[in-house]
Amino acid sequence: MRKAARDQGFTLIEVIVAIAMLAFGLGALLEGIALGWRGSRAAQMELSALQVAKARLEAAGIETPLTEGRWSGSTSDGFSWTLTCTRHVDERVTADLGIPTGYWTTVEVGWRPAPWSRPRSLVLASFRIGQVE
């Protein structure tokens, strides 16, 4: 028995459909990899910002005075930070009792993950005890 001529290979439409399916699959795979890479980079940037904020918060009262005010700076890897100290005033307690002064200490760290992306920021706050005035 002899096979018909049409059963001897693939038709042009079958080859085009196979190539289109391959291109679609590769495109979806590459998009998934890129999305994972961007997510990993964003998580790393947030972790670095958190470390900067924690370091600035720990330095309050040691490297920077624990008084009312605002200090700011930046790191070499593109993070900018602002430390704000606000004195906590409790009307029930007077200053002549010799009670230490409390300060609300807030650190805001800002960064831009990429030049075309929107700025991001992270805020940490703590209540710190200062010296007796």
Quick check: is 3 in a domain? no
Is 39 among the domain residues? yes
* 5, part of any domain: no
106 is a domain residue: yes
**Block residue for tokens 């059963």:** 7
Q: Is residue 2 in a domain?
A: no
Structure tokens at 117: 């992306």
Number of Cβ within 10 Å of residue 34's Cβ equals 10
Q: Residue 101 and residue 132: Cα distance in Å, rounded?
A: 6
Range of the domain at 95: 10-129
Within a domain: residue 95?
A: yes
b (16+ CB within 10 A) / e for 72-110? eeebeeebbbbbbbeeeeeeeeeeeeeeebbbebbbbbb
Total number of domains in the chain: 1
- The rounded distance, in Å, linking the Cα atoms of 109 and 124 is 9
46 domain residue, yes or no = yes
Rounded to two decimals, the pTM is 0.70
- Condensed to tens digits (0 to 9), the pLDDT of residues 61-85 reads 887 778 888 999 999 988 999 999 9
The per-residue pLDDT for range 16-50, each reduced to its tens digit, is 999 999 999 999 999 999 999 988 988 999 999 99
In a domain, residue 94? The reply is yes
Residue 37 three-state SS: helix
